[in-house]
Structure 1
Amino acid sequence: MQLPRGKNFAIVLLFLTVFHTTTKSGTDAEELSVDVGTEEEVIAEDDEISTGKASLVLDDNEDIDSAFNNEDDVPEENDECSRISPKEIFHNEIHLRLLHALDEMSHFVEAVLIRIESALNTLLPHVQESPIGNLRVEDLFPEVRRFLHGTMRDVYDVVRASWRDLIRTHVAEASDASQQLNALRIVRDAQIQGEEKIKASLMELSVTLRAIILNSIYVLQESLKLPEHTEPKEAAAQINQKLPKVAPNFLGTLMMKIIEKGENRDAYKKLLTNTLRYITGPVNKMYEQLEDLNKAGPSTENLQIYWKSMIEESHLRLIEDPIEPPKYEIVYQNEEYLAGLVLGLMATF
């Protein structure tokens, strides 16, 4: 296996600490006409996330609507609440699927980072003059957490705000298909761009993990002081022999798997990158059907028929693919499975 050069990868790791402190959540995407708060509010929110005061991870007994201030603030005439409305689709399905997708990612990120962070603290004392030693673990991991959780919170805020604008538009312009189509276009674009931001943040996580794992292999090999022309198989055998002593943990599992399979990305199962697929797919279809209806010059009655049809399709999706209570804590306790996801992440990006 072609092992990394320690000094070069040390520079990569040091660069990552700077990168994450200067990079905003996600990649620069086309701005949407959705107000998600001032810069000061975002900074304050990130501080809360980093200290554990705010998180996308909810307790089993915590009310989702209360946790995310999801009260219904879209008034209708005569205080009536119409069930033939995008409000029905959002509250009954889309909002929950969005929360579940982001909550799962939040649990995955935390499960990986907490294990890698602990493993590095175990490994470093065993390796003298380690280039990883130049990395301030206590600085990097909080920054990675802040970056990833900040991205997820930004995506949630933008997608939720776009849906609320659609609901307001539907209430105010009940017979105007073009206005509703414009609002639905913003919803569609918000979800697509949110998915791209999540993809970019996962790519950064992949780069960070790759640098850490490959450096760990390198410094462990260096600590063994093997002869210069040692065969890769012999080097791998020596590293495997020492791993249980210095890295009997999640990091050691990842190192062993990479030593055994090499860095060839085709050796690992890649992950799906469309993390919001359970909401982007239905909304794309909704948009296409409303676009066709708008071209035909719809009446108020046709719009009501359209939304009734969309609600029926939403109910069918919930029957065919129900939203089950999450069990992420249990799933991610399986370190073998979690290691497979990490290697898949590295193979994907």
Structure 2
Amino acid sequence: MKLLSEKNYVTTLLFIATLYPTTLSEKDTEELLVEVGTEEEVIAEDDGNATGKASFVPDGTEDIEILFNNEDDVPEEIGECSRISPKEIFHNEIHLRLLDALDEMSHFVEAVLTRIESALEILLPHVHESPIGNLKVQDLFPEVRQFLFGTMRDVYDVVRASWRDLIRTHVSAPNDADQQVEALRIIKDAQIQGEEKLKASLTELSVTLRAIILNSIYVIQESLKLPENTEPKQAAAQISRKLPKVAPNFLGTLMMKMIEKGDDRDAYKKLLTNTLRYITGPVDKMYEQLETLVRAGPSKEEDLQNYWKSMIEESHSRLREDPIEPSKYEILFRNEEYLTELVLGLMATF
């Protein structure tokens, strides 16, 4: 008896065969950018006011940096205090938490793909025994990276653009609560759509990794030339004995875990799916409170000022309770035991 059923194996391979070149269409991105108010004009040109570029790149040659200084991305009248505004919340908290979330995701993706890619090179001599032939590692992984990192970049751009639209609205109409609550609604929608895109990209990563792991187990099993009547436990034991020779690495650890725990998703600890939870929660609350103020009837100038003062105080409170620490994800994901559990959790979740 085969350790993997023919149906399970073929279905998994069909996923990986049809997965690429799935990418975010330019049309989708353009439509969302129009919705959040990014016209041809920009508030601050990237080459003028930026201190660096936020880049979600897989080669590790660039770190994610802060795109903008805390001033001058929206021109203000002389004497205006930008600290009593959404600009203060965005630059001091939201922007940093957004970068941190995408930084963590990018380091996780690269740590996994780098290890899997190198591990497959060791298995290549056995791949000819697989019915799908050569895995074409050189084509698969660049496409995976392009899709995942492209999605992260798109999400970052759209969320940032929606916040810049709110800041622009606050500067041009500081006493118009209706315009500002609408700008906050657009931010809310942009973050929801961004989170859905990140979920979709993690789902495709999960399907890809699952296909690679199951196919690798199948390849090793086929190389053993086990009799058709071999019991699953016996087949698993023989595969486990061979794993240290052909996959003494991260991929081998994942295969061993899959053999031990099986294909039941409930056997693994699932991950949280709301990747942007540290910014969606605060924004939802900001929107609800401003919407309540608008529904109460015409607001006075001081009402809106007090609202933003309150939102800034809450932002500072969140930063005290949950400060944004310097990123150490590259070091964290060197722990392969921890990384293995995350991958198994990813496959169980998405």
Counterpart position of 1:301? 302
Counterpart position of 2:204? 204
Q: Is the 8 A contact 2:32 2:158 kept in 1?
A: no
Q: Is the 8 A contact 2:15 2:207 kept in 1?
A: no
Counterpart position of 2:15? 12
Code of the aligned partner of 1:13: I
Q: For 1:161 and 1:128, how far apart are their aligned partners in 2?
A: 49
Residues 322-341 of structure 1: matches in 2 within 5 Å? 322-341=323-342
Counterpart position of 1:47? none
Residues 51-66 of structure 1: matches in 2 within 5 Å? 54-55=55-56, 64-66=65-67
Q: For 2:3 and 2:257, how far apart are their aligned partners in 1?
A: 14
Counterpart position of 1:321? 322
More divergent stretch after superposition (160-169 vs 117-126): 117-126
Query: Can you give the 5+ residue segments of structure 2 that lack an aligned partner in the other structure?
Result: 41-53
Q: For 1:27 and 1:231, how far apart are their aligned partners in 2?
A: 52
Counterpart position of 1:285? 285
Counterpart position of 1:155? 155
Compared CA separation, residues 300 and 35, structure 1 to 2 (3 A): closer
Counterpart position of 1:90? 90
Q: Percent identity?
A: 73
Shift, 1:56, TM fit: 5.5
Q: For 1:239 and 1:252, how far apart are their aligned partners in 2?
A: 10
Counterpart position of 1:112? 112
Counterpart position of 2:36? 34
Shift, 1:10, TM fit: 3.9
Code of the aligned partner of 1:335: E
Compared CA separation, residues 26 and 341, structure 1 to 2 (3 A): farther
Code of the aligned partner of 1:291: E
Compared CA separation, residues 69 and 112, structure 1 to 2 (3 A): farther
Shift, 1:289, TM fit: 0.1
TM-score normalized by the length of structure 1? 0.88
Shift, 1:37, TM fit: 8.8
Code of the aligned partner of 2:309: K
Compared CA separation, residues 252 and 267, structure 1 to 2 (3 A): same
Code of the aligned partner of 2:205: L
Q: Is the 8 A contact 1:7 1:131 kept in 2?
A: no
Counterpart position of 1:48? none
TM-score normalized by the length of structure 2? 0.87
Code of the aligned partner of 2:323: P
Query: Can you give the 5+ residue segments of structure 1 that lack an aligned partner in the other structure?
Result: 39-52
Counterpart position of 2:256? 256
Q: For 2:36 and 2:64, how far apart are their aligned partners in 1?
A: 26
Code of the aligned partner of 1:102: L
Cα RMSD of the aligned pairs, angstroms, is 2.7
Compared CA separation, residues 330 and 319, structure 1 to 2 (3 A): same
- The reply on whether 1:228 has 2:204 as its aligned counterpart is no
Shift, 1:26, TM fit: 11
Code of the aligned partner of 2:318: R
Counterpart position of 1:46? none
Compared CA separation, residues 22 and 13, structure 1 to 2 (3 A): closer
Q: For 1:345 and 1:322, how far apart are their aligned partners in 2?
A: 26
Q: Is the 8 A contact 2:64 2:99 kept in 1?
A: no
Q: For 2:279 and 2:57, how far apart are their aligned partners in 1?
A: 18
Compared CA separation, residues 37 and 251, structure 1 to 2 (3 A): farther
Q: For 1:61 and 1:237, how far apart are their aligned partners in 2?
A: 44
Q: For 1:65 and 1:143, how far apart are their aligned partners in 2?
A: 27
Q: Is the 8 A contact 2:12 2:210 kept in 1?
A: no
Code of the aligned partner of 2:302: E
